[in-house]
Amino acid sequence: MAFVRGLKRPIEIFCKRMNTPVHSGLGYSAMACKGAYFADFRENKCPFGCNCANAFCSHCISARRYSTEVSPSEQMNLIKQLRERTSAPIKEVKSALVDSNWDIGKWWKYAESAQKELRKRGIVLASKKASRTAAEGLLALAQNDRKAAVIELNCETDFVARNEIFQYLALSLAKVALLVDGTRQPSGALHVGPELFEELKINFHHPKLSGERTVQNAITEVAAMMGENVKLRRGFAMSAPSYGILSTYLHTSPQPGVGRIAGLLSLEVEDQNASVDALQHVGSELAMHVVAAKPLFLTKADVSTEAMESEREILKSQAESTGKPQMAVEKMVEGRLRKYFEEVVLMEQKFVVNDTLNVKTLLNNLSKEVGSPVKVGSFLRVEVGEGLQRLESSNTGEPLAQAA
């Protein structure tokens, strides 16, 4: 009896092993007793009778029973694939895959349920980052025959601003801004606030950002991918004149259409038959001049009384500190006021391409060349992050950029 009882246990163990699934490491399991079935997979043959000569064909894949156990090498492969697809941080990618049970039923494709999980988390992550300062970023410029639009998309670091997905999103938003009617400013430019198109839908065509979604949802997704606060801060648009040209310039541009400083300028001409080539050449140089010289006003008449009084008070205080007579002080103030106009008024500034003449003289020469009066209709200068620190400390509204 003792011998029989001793023999019975090894036989039970043997039977249990025969009925235990054997995991192959390829993601499926087969019964150990079906040796031929398992051998077919190892020989890369389809055991289900189709002629695909591939054990992983889509016709027979559903007939297999997948294991919930994933080897470390498969885990690393899935993490790599999902990270390449989403650009999300490794920690978030792994956590999403774990929560989605590694989705190994479709292991040869990207883990779709894990991607959905990442998108859900992105909303939470982006909301947590929304309070962090985003003073870096890029300007994106889009232009057609009749209009140009520039938007500012902010992030926290310059590293993210150099990311191709961030730049793709910025360019997409600039194209949308071309289609939105903003609030007309006294300068002639349109202020396109982010609230005007955050709910608009766009069809994105980037490998890591594809399909139709709202502007706000796209920004939220990119924020989750980048791990930073991403914010659409502001936008502007400018229309071309009836007769004339609209010129643009981007400074510090990593690729066409994006940069850190933008200059927009329109040149109006009375004669519609005037040489467009001459206008475009000077217009391009003046758009670059706007970026470099930072004008605040178009003409001296456009300088506000408040700005004039403030500057005069400062200059008078500086002159009086020299101890000179009052008459001399007045002359010093007037002289320095002329210098102030040369610094902030576009028409009075020295032309950056040729500082022997000012912008007013340049336009007079251009008018003679094309045979018709030429004037600057409006200009706009926008720089990434300008006024953000002052804005946060004072809780005032967004600056409208340097425009006239």
Q: Say what the alpha-carbon torsion angle 66, 71, 72, 73 is, to the nearest 10 degrees.
A: -80
Neighbours of 124 (CB within 10 A): 11
Domain count, the chain: 2
Residue 213 sits in a domain whose CATH number is 3.30.479.20
Q: How would residue 235 be classed by pLDDT, with cut points 50, 70 and 90?
A: very high
For residue 376, give its domain range. Answer: 136-302+345-383
Q: Are residues 123 and 173 in the same domain?
A: no
Q: Is the pLDDT of residue 54 over 50?
A: no
* Strand, coil or helix: 350: strand
**Whether residue 161 sits in one domain with residue 108:** no
Q: Are residues 140 and 119 in the same domain?
A: no
- 143-187 residue pLDDT tens: 998 899 999 999 999 999 999 999 999 999 999 999 988 777 766
Query: What single-letter amino acid sits at 347?
Result: M
Residues 229 and 263 in one domain: yes
- pLDDT (average), residues 6-15: 52
* Whole-number pLDDT of residue 312: 86
236 and 207 in a single domain? The answer is yes
Q: Domain of 116: which CATH number?
A: 1.10.8.10
Residue 324 domain flag: no
Give the Cα separation of 152 and 171 in Å (integer): 10
Q: How far is CA 362 from the centre of its chain?
A: 37
Residues 6+ apart with CB under 8 A from 125: 92, 223, 224, 227
Return the residue matching tokens 């004149």: 241
Closest Cα partner for 251 from 135, 362, 404, 138? 138
For residue 131, the model assigns a pLDDT of 54
Q: What is the mean pLDDT of residues 89-95?
A: 71
pLDDT at 389: 57
Reference 233, options 382, 368, 343; nearest CA is 382
Query: Is residue 108 located within the same domain as residue 144?
Result: no
Same domain, 116 and 162: no
* Rounded distance between C-alpha atoms, residue 138 and residue 257, angstroms: 10
273 and 368 in one domain?
Answer: yes
Nearest to 365 by CA among 282, 295, 293, 289: 282
Is the same domain home to 115 and 149? no
Is 58 within a domain?
A: no
Q: What is the pLDDT of residue 28?
A: 41
Q: Are residues 143 and 213 in the same domain?
A: yes
Give the predicted TM-score (pTM) of the model.
0.67
